[in-house]
Structure 1
Amino acid sequence: MSIKRPTPPPTPGAAALFTPKLISALREGYSLALLRADAIAGLTVAIVALPLAMAIAIASGATPDRGLVTAVVAGFLISALGGSRFQIGGPTAAFIVVVFDVIQRHGYEGMLVATLLAGLMLIVVGALRLGTYIKYIPYPVVTGFTAGIAVSIFASQLKEALGLDEALPPEFLAKLAAVASRLGSASPAAIIVTVGSVALILTLRKLKPHWPGFLIAVLIASLGVAVFGIDVATVGSRFGDVPRGLPMPSLPVFDFALVQRVFPDAITIALLAGIESLLSAVVADGMTGRKHRSNGELVAQGIANIASVCFAGLPATGAIARTATNIRAGARTPVAGILHAVFLLVFMLAAAPVLAYVPLAALAAILIIVAINISEARHIRHILGTAGNGDRFVLVSTFLLTVLVDLTVAIQFGVVAAAVLFVHRMAEAVEIETHEKLIEEDAPDAPHAPRAASAAGIVTYRIDGPFFFGAAQRLSSVLDRIGETPRGFVLDMTTVPFIDASGGAALTSFLDRARADGVTVRVVGARPAVAEAVRKLAAEVGLPIVFGAQAAP
């Protein structure tokens, strides 16, 4: 009796995969009530994003207006063209370490070229429908480098939080040593502003969670500095007045040597943007029950990053916290994200002179809270407490490499280490069982005593799992334990989904040995693709094989 396999669902076409969610939402009908809900949500997110975008830009080694420009331009396009109904895009804290490092090594122009290349990469990855594969980056790797980024962000804010005048070295350990040696020159006023802002944000989060704690803390700190004349560094004293509106668009100057130098950084930016945007979209799906279009989202992220470069902005991606705020504020369609960008532009036009009074210590307090939020402390405790030693090693090594070496190296090492760990686990999961058919013969010293199959017996090998390079050595080990040559072999391959090149090499050696010894081989239960692979391998060594549909007993 044959079992009819269910027909797989048809593969979605390009229109279904890449149509922006904005168009899908508008096709469903858009009413005044929906506009009102989206406008309230967009205004709420804009209030949260205003101080955050400035803080992220300053921490990244840029001017505060670069963060606002990114939030306006990239935020608009991510919502208008993206594959998620609720995604809010803009500069995020995850980019701080990467962008700061690129600017330090290649200048701001190098960062723009790297971001443009990253945008092109995201478009290509999305267009080739490879976005689904980003989700296969192992959880310990994501947790490790996210926690490492959080620690790096916290360390990067010590200068402004303590009011130190001198620049700190970029390396983590050297930075901590420099801070420790300069504690005597710390500014009490800056420390008061930092501690007071952190305390206010945490208090509002507990007592009034729906209030915009970041903006309230910045406003109170700015008023305190202006009214009482507190001597701390401000946006205006460090960077001058914040420009009103957007600059004229232009492309960076391309230099082939510069492209070569920043290409590895572009890969890091693209990978980080892809991971964070899709994670944010998944979070939004979980909160709303909707489903995002991952490849369309990546294409939109790529376009948004290229547009951000045209306005001399920063790398952008989906922001998990702002996306969650958007949903909680009642957003219904991508119009909320578009309006969030419009409101930010209005703030730039109307309130740019006021932004110059914002103390840098208050912005440092915001990023300290952000670092705490993304530290993944709960997930780290879970992995260290319940996972195996391999996952713990991947987590800790990725974390340490992120903090002490480089994010690119950390991701590369983490993915490779996790892949090796996975291969090892898969190889351990593959079972190769040996079953010998017993032949009863009269023996002078033990009448009717059964003995193991020898030259007249049949040996059955049952292979459970994919026969790939990780499991090939196990078959070789089993073959090495064969004593007397049996009359025949039966290979039960009922549960073998595929055979790769290494598994095929091990199987070829097995078949060649069987041919040389004159042993018959029967293959049972093999799927069509597996049976065809075995048939070709047998033909190479000149061994005829009998195939059977039924599995061995």
Structure 2
Amino acid sequence: MARVHSSEGHFMSRQRFSVNLPSISTGLRAAWREGYSLLDLRKDVMAGLTVGTVAVPLSMALAIATGVPPQHGLYTAIVAGAIIALTGGARFNVSGPTAAFIVILFPIVQQYGLGGLLIASMMAGIILMILGITRMGRLIEYVPYPVVLGFTAGIAVVIAVLQIPDFLGLSVGQLGEHFVENLGRIVTSLPTLNPLEFGIGAFSLVVMLLWPRLHMPVPAPLVGLVVGAIAAYGANQWFGSADTPAVETIASRFTWEGNGETGTGIPPIAPSFVAPWLLPGPDGEPLELSFELIRALLGPAFAIAMLGAIESLLCAVVSDGLTKTKHDPNAELVGQGLGNIIAPLFGGITATAAIARTATNIRSGARSPIAAVVHSVVVLLAVIVLAGLLGLVPMAALAALLFIIAWNMSEARHFLHTMRSAPPGDVVILVICFGLTVLFDMVLAVAVGMGLAAALFIRRMTLLTTTDRIEVENHPAINGLPSEVAVYEINGPLFFGVAEKALTSLHLVDPKVRIVIIDMHDVPSMDGTAIVALRSLIDEMHRESVALILAGLPTRIIVKLRRAGIRKTAGMLTFCRDLPRARLVALHWQKAKTE
């Protein structure tokens, strides 16, 4: 079969259309091509041990903040973490549950239960795969920084507020979906503050904040949760009982049932296959898989997929900057899609690349995606061997950990710096995205933010496109033209935001002008609106018996105009490659008119 090579570098058949699918496992193959030795394997194992140690408490905390039992966060790190590492396009990304998803997943759990969340995650995985297969991996380049900063800071605020009840030991009951309502319930429940829970939470928070200053190799989250668990164990022994613990822990809040056994805390069982639609819905009963349920979850699934794409590709960009490597964005989206399709079948919730864990992975000396696979194995061993000890972790200490995550995620310094130094339009977008994320939801914030950013971009581009009349006697290329010929130049793209303004400004004031030359060599593009406006200008000039010469247009735009029906007309409309040629044509037409 004969083939040609397109300008984009994709092979295309003359006889049929073919889709160029992105390769998977590009991160793994990139490391292998560079030469992978036993020393590299050792570095990956050590990095994986470090990241896995960090991932265990984070995965539990993020699952609980989402509204599901902690083991589902651990299952996510185990299953999705390994699959995405082996199939994705980023060499150093470490995937698992992340804080950014809490504001999206928490309402899904409230409305549809754990089963609904896992189904939505699978649907999001399918969307991510479609984005990767259709080569939409450059998506991140089209999300303006004020939008990203606004919704991430808003998410951080929501996460922090949701942790206040556990940190203070408040009796608030089940929180709802709306920030203002939840904040009101928290404020009214402040009199129920538990001094022991607050003390343990504050102690754990201080330890996690101060531990990095000692420059010890043990991760601060692990140390903070260990000391918090020791303090909680002592408080429960002295002040509590088996039925009413003085300090709430993972074991006292969560129960599990599996393999014919029951228990509290985290089950010491490896992830096993389970159909998500058989898991509990909002009423505790198994979901009934139906078209109505799928349709209801389509919106949340799309939101999950969009945030997952942004988060993963942002993480890959950060890791590229730290390691001087290059990721494959389309393969990364395919890998993220596979991970989110398979993980829910083993009890895992939504996964995406985690910037903090990825940075830890790189700083720990990782050489390939094998480090992320080792991280998943470490989490698996922790579930099987340390489940009982993990159940001793107090909820207040997990809340303290999430406070730190929320603070780091907020990028408060960048937020304030942007507020002070960015142009007013960007500040407005930042504030609106932040406010909408906090008061409503992230999907609305991103949609409105993107709309405002697009409007701001159009306004700025409008200011760049100008139309000016050229003084003939001062321009050597057109010198000597008679007064009946007027010359204009248009600079900048012609699209729906500027076309009318740019072309209507060509309105002739001098009734003696019979020929108009428009220099368009600085017009890089024209959209449909501009073509319609140009046609209207041509029709108006024809009615007034004024001839038009378009000079300097690229061939591709001329072809586009011809397809729209704008063609050469003898003595009235033509295209010239430059101003000197347009000058000769104008003189010829002027001579013909006078004869």
Q: TM-score, normalised by structure 1?
A: 0.92
* 1:246 alignment partner, one of 270, 279, 282: 270
2:293 paired residue number:
258
DSSP 3-state at the match of 2:430: helix
Shift of 1:10: 3.4
| Aligned residue type for 1:378 | R
Shift of 1:549: 1.9
Is contact 2:25-2:89 (8 Å) kept? yes
* 1:514 alignment partner, one of 536, 541, 550: 541
- Please give the per-residue CA displacement for 1:94-114, whole angstroms capped at 9, x wherever unaligned: 111111111111222221121
CA shift in 2, pair 1:118/1:482, >3 Å:
farther
2:222 paired residue number:
215
| Aligned residue type for 2:224 | A
CA shift in 2, pair 1:458/1:251, >3 Å:
farther
CA shift in 2, pair 1:388/1:244, >3 Å:
same
Q: Indicate whether 1:175 and 2:182 are aligned.
A: yes
1:52 paired residue number:
58
Is contact 1:77-1:300 (8 Å) kept? yes
| Aligned residue type for 1:547 | F
C-alpha separation in 1, matches of 2:75 and 2:318: 26
C-alpha separation in 1, matches of 2:422 and 2:163: 33
C-alpha separation in 2, matches of 1:503 and 1:510: 10
Shift of 1:170: 3.5
DSSP 3-state at the match of 2:208: helix
Shift of 1:533: 3.1
| Aligned residue type for 1:328 | R
1:69 paired residue number:
75
* 1:321 alignment partner, one of 356, 367, 373: 356
2:424 paired residue number:
389
C-alpha separation in 1, matches of 2:74 and 2:60: 6
| Aligned residue type for 1:289 | K
Shift of 1:438: 6.6
Shift of 1:26: 2.7
Q: TM-score, normalised by structure 2?
A: 0.86
C-alpha separation in 1, matches of 2:441 and 2:389: 37
CA shift in 2, pair 1:210/1:463, >3 Å:
farther
DSSP 3-state at the match of 2:218: coil
1:419-438 equivalent positions in 2, closer than 5 A: 419-437=454-472
2:575 paired residue number:
547
CA shift in 2, pair 1:50/1:210, >3 Å:
same
- Please give the per-residue CA displacement for 1:477-500, whole angstroms capped at 9, x wherever unaligned: 413463425121111111112211
How high is the sequence identity, in percent, across the aligned residues? 39
Is contact 1:467-1:500 (8 Å) kept? yes
Is contact 1:492-1:525 (8 Å) kept? yes
Is contact 1:511-1:538 (8 Å) kept? no
Q: Indicate whether 1:304 and 2:339 are aligned.
A: yes
Shift of 1:528: 0.3
Is contact 2:516-2:549 (8 Å) kept? yes
C-alpha separation in 2, matches of 1:9 and 1:262: 37
Q: Indicate whether 1:533 and 2:560 are aligned.
A: yes
| Aligned residue type for 1:237 | S
Shift of 1:538: 6.2
C-alpha separation in 2, matches of 1:539 and 1:287: 52
| Aligned residue type for 1:496 | V
CA shift in 2, pair 1:169/1:250, >3 Å:
closer
Shift of 1:436: 4.7
> Which stretch of the first structure deviates more once superposed, 478-487 or 351-360?
478-487
- Please give the per-residue CA displacement for 1:443-471, whole angstroms capped at 9, x wherever unaligned: xxxxxxxxxx9994222221111111111
CA shift in 2, pair 1:506/1:22, >3 Å:
same
1:43 paired residue number:
49
C-alpha separation in 1, matches of 2:524 and 2:23: 29
DSSP 3-state at the match of 1:432: strand
DSSP 3-state at the match of 2:410: coil
Is contact 1:508-1:541 (8 Å) kept? no
C-alpha separation in 2, matches of 1:541 and 1:260: 52
Is contact 1:87-1:334 (8 Å) kept? yes
DSSP 3-state at the match of 1:83: coil
- Please give the per-residue CA displacement for 1:342-365, whole angstroms capped at 9, x wherever unaligned: 111011111011111110000000
| Aligned residue type for 1:22 | L
1:470 paired residue number:
497
C-alpha separation in 1, matches of 2:26 and 2:346: 23
Is contact 1:461-1:490 (8 Å) kept? yes
Shift of 1:548: 2.0
Shift of 1:475: 2.4
* 1:20 alignment partner, one of 7, 19, 26: 26
Q: Indicate whether 1:363 and 2:398 are aligned.
A: yes
| Aligned residue type for 1:331 | A
C-alpha separation in 2, matches of 1:209 and 1:467: 59
Is contact 1:496-1:530 (8 Å) kept? no
Q: Indicate whether 1:111 and 2:111 are aligned.
A: no
DSSP 3-state at the match of 2:488: strand
2:37 paired residue number:
31
Structure 2 spans left out of the alignment, 5+ residues: 1-5, 12-18, 240-245, 255-263, 278-288, 475-479, 584-595
1:108-257 equivalent positions in 2, closer than 5 A: 108-167=114-173, 168-208=175-215, 210-229=217-236, 231-239=246-254, 240-253=264-277, 254-257=289-292
Aligned residues: 534
C-alpha separation in 2, matches of 1:209 and 1:516: 83
C-alpha separation in 2, matches of 1:527 and 1:476: 18
Is contact 2:425-2:456 (8 Å) kept? yes
| Aligned residue type for 2:485 | I
Is contact 1:454-1:484 (8 Å) kept? no
C-alpha separation in 1, matches of 2:8 and 2:292: 48
C-alpha separation in 2, matches of 1:88 and 1:295: 17
C-alpha separation in 1, matches of 2:182 and 2:66: 16
| Aligned residue type for 2:268 | R
C-alpha separation in 2, matches of 1:37 and 1:484: 80
C-alpha separation in 2, matches of 1:265 and 1:153: 18
| Aligned residue type for 1:163 | G
- Please give the per-residue CA displacement for 1:394-432, whole angstroms capped at 9, x wherever unaligned: 111111110001111111111111111111111221111
Structure 1 spans left out of the alignment, 5+ residues: 1-6, 440-452
1:493 paired residue number:
520
| Aligned residue type for 1:273 | G
